[in-house]
Structure 1
Amino acid sequence: MIYHFEEEKINEIFEVDGYPQIYHISRLKLQNNAFYQAMHSHEDRVEILYLLSGSGWHTVGKYRYPTSAGDLVIINSGVLHEEKVRGKEPLEFYGCAVTNLKLKGKKRGQLIDEDRVPVLSLGSQKQIVEDLFGVIQKESMTENVRKNEICTFLVSALVLKVAELTRRSEWMDSKAQKEHWMIEKVQNYMEQNFRDKISLEDMSKIVSVSPWYLERVFKKYTGDSLNQYLIRLKLGYAQNLFRDTSKSIAQVAEEVGYDNPSYFSQLFKKKFGVTPGAYRKKLKESSDH
């Protein structure tokens, strides 16, 4: 079967200075008991994840979503996110990050509208998306001197396909939008003030609801209590400090709001299964390879 393309004007969706540049491509397998990167964001890049097997919990922005094989997860730049295994089987997925993305009519670093659900079940479209990820990853492993250029064109095709698929994603209903506003307000407050002592009463006053109602709605959408989310924020920021600085454990603990390094280390080990010192050592070993 032959398909002939007729001549027509291409409807460009990228701004002239907004063509995506590939930052990294990976195929990862996350074990249930493995330590992971807690809540974090990337100001300079968009991430696209495609789940190959297993099931997970993906927190993107203000909500936590159950995910499974065949799902696509889209994370705009600057959006807090986290992935965890759901169930006993490992979670295997492709991850692709792109920089410089600017679609017409959207902000730089925005691939999906903020009021659309960032998790898509691909159905009949999953094979073509999986194939695109696979080709990009295989090409990135070659010795071809042109591989960066080839991967950049391939990732543009992937972004175009994902942009098309996002038009079919669900809109949040009006009630969800109101609750989204409330959660966003509280989370923004926590993100700016997590180094200080924050109480449930303080946060409920910000959005003019009762502490009980705020706690219930927050857990409904994020899967965490307000205190659990605050701890995740602190520990996620601590991970970044261990990765990007040479600050001591005591200094990192103080910077994320804990005046007792021993208590901080206990929380860290409980969350990630390793002590802060072992975590930093593992990061160093990984970077040396």
Structure 2
Amino acid sequence: MSTQRFDIRHAPAPRESFRLLYISKSKFGGDWNSTTHTHSCTELFYCLSGEGQFYLSGQLFPVKPDDLVIVNPQVEHTELSLNASPLEYIVLGVDKMEFLFNRADTSYAIFNCRENRERMVTLLHMLLAEADRSLDGCETVCQDLLEVLLIWVVRCTTLSLQLEEAPRTENRECAEVKRYLDANFREDVSLDLLAEIAHLNKYYLAHTFQREYGISPITYLNRRRIEESKHMLGNTSYSLAQISELMGFSSPSYFSQCFRKAEGMTPNEYRRQTRQGKRPAPTKRHEV
């Protein structure tokens, strides 16, 4: 009998604070709408097949099978595929972790992992299967597999990990949309227009804006209009129809509906209470 024994002389490192947020497998089709965007987490893309390009911080980089694309938080990016050879990849979103690259001013990188394809693809498909089944202990298994995967990424590259949580920064696209709404709330504004301004899919924009500010873009727009209308109700003699038109509402009835929902009373009731001294007349809001 032949035996090989290996003693583990060191205690395992403490469990890390980073966490797998999501994992998905995608293949480009004719209906793919590629738009640039950012995330508050780190993303890792493993290209399984096909060819395409990655747009990263204003530059285009070709990608091919077994390329690993690493994108740190708040890096503007998107994926582009060649129609003749549709790009297929698995992507992971990891929270509370960033990669440290050789250059301090770099927030993304692309590595080819062909020599380690079998190991990498096996781990990724195990992660996908575990997340898909969602059995008891799924979160623990996914975390274990993620840590093994990241160890292999570090071993196969010249990278290291930064596990301290970086200070949260405001999403750039959401901040741009918010500034636009503050400056143009009297205009005819739609979610499609805001998505065009931010260069984002409108559903992704609505989700990200809600996560960033706790309110949808259109609800924020209406609240902004309501605040200005309160000033006009308390300090001018404009009719409801005039105020509705000046504030960009589609009709006086929609204005009244939004006002009642926000303030718990009709615009006329608000005006009457203000004039009777039951509530102070609001001052005009100034943007800094």
Q: Which interval holds the TM-score relative to the shorter structure?
A: 0.5 to 0.7
Aligned equivalent of 2:32, options 29, 34, 50: 34
Which of 138, 141, 145 in structure 2 is aligned with 1:147? 138
* Matched position secondary structure for 1:133: helix
Alignment correspondent of 2:198: 234
- Specify the code of the residue in structure 2 equivalent to 1:41: T
2:53–2:81: 8 Å Cα contact kept in structure 1?
yes
Q: Taking structure 1 as reference, are residues 10 and 65 closer, same or farther at Cα in structure 2, changes over 3 Å only?
A: farther
Match of 1:247 in 2: 218
**Displacement after TM superposition at 1:144 (Å):** 1.7
Distance in 2 (CA, whole Å) between partners of 1:190 and 1:241 is 8
Residue 92 of structure 1 and its aligned partner are, at CA, apart by 1.0
Residues 1:52 and 2:48 aligned together: yes
Tell me, in whole angstroms, the C-alpha distance in 2 between the residues paired with 1:81 and 1:98: 16
- Quote the offset at 1:72 in angstroms: 0.6
Query: Any conservation in 2 of the 1:49–1:94 contact (CA below 8 Å)?
Result: yes
Distance 1:143 1:168, change over 3 A: closer
Compute the displacement of 1:236 (Å): 2.1
Task: Give me the whole-angstrom Cα distance separating, in 1, the residues matched to 2:99 and 2:30.
Answer: 31
Look up the match of 1:161.
152
Give the deviation of 1:76 after TM superposition.
0.9
The CA RMSD measured in Å over matched residues stands at 3.7
Distance in 2 between the 1:2 and 1:122 partners?
A: 33
Unaligned runs of 5+ in 2: 161-171, 181-194, 210-215, 223-288
Query: How far does the alpha carbon of each residue in 1:219-250 deviate from its partner, in whole angstroms, 9 at most, with x for none?
Result: xxxxxxxxxxxx987312756434453529x9
1:110 maps to 99
Return the match for 2:17 from 12, 16, 19: 19
- The two structures have a TM-score, normalised by structure 2, of 0.54
Aligned counterpart for 1:64 among listed residues 60, 70, 82:
60
| Number of residue pairs the alignment of both structures matches | 186
Task: Identify if the C-alpha distance between structure 1 residues 138 and 237 changes in structure 2 by more than 3 Å, giving closer, same or farther.
Answer: closer
**Partner Cα distance (1:125, 1:73) in 2:** 15
Q: For residues 95 and 139 of structure 1, what CA distance do their matches in structure 2 show?
A: 15
Q: Report the alpha carbon displacement of residue 192 of structure 1 after superposing the two structures with TM.
A: 8.2
Describe the SS at the equivalent of 2:142.
helix
CA distance 1:112–1:128, shift in 2 (3 Å): farther
Q: Check 1:190–1:35 CA distance in 2 against 1; reply closer, same or farther (3 A cut).
A: closer
SS at match of 2:141: helix
After superposition, the C-alpha distances for 1:1-42 in whole angstroms (9 at most, x for unaligned) are 986433333685xxx684321101111112244213x11111
Q: Gaps spanning 5+ residues in structure 1: where?
A: 102-108, 170-188, 197-230, 252-289
Give per-residue Cα distances to partners, 1:63-112, cap 9 Å, x unaligned: 321001111111111211111112423211111111122xxxxxxx3354
Q: Distance in 1 between matches of 2:119 and 2:197?
A: 36
**What is the distance in 2 between the residues matched to 1:120 and 1:66?**
11
Measured against aligned partners, the alpha-carbon deviations of 1:170-219 in whole angstroms (never above 9, x if no partner) come to: xxxxxxxxxxxxxxxxxxx99987979xxxxxxxxxxxxxxxxxxxxxxx
Q: CA deviation at 1:166?
A: 2.8
Does the 8 Å contact 2:68/2:111 carry over to 1?
yes
Question: Within 1, Cα distance between the matches of 2:134 and 2:175?
Answer: 45
Is the alpha carbon distance of 1:27 and 1:247 closer, same or farther for their aligned partners in structure 2, counting shifts above 3 Å?
same
Larger Rg: 2
**Does structure 1 conserve the Cα–Cα contact (< 8 Å) formed by 2:81 and 2:87?**
yes
One-letter code aligned to 2:19: Q
Give yes or no for contact 1:60–1:118 (8 Å, CA) kept in 2. no
1:100 and 1:191, CA in 2 relative to 1: closer, same or farther beyond 3 A?
closer
For residue 46 of structure 2, give the secondary structure of its aligned residue in structure 1.
Answer: strand
* Correspondence 1:7 to 2:5: no
- Provide closer, same or farther for how the CA distance between residues 117 and 99 of structure 1 changes in structure 2, counting only shifts above 3 A: closer
1:9 partner letter: H
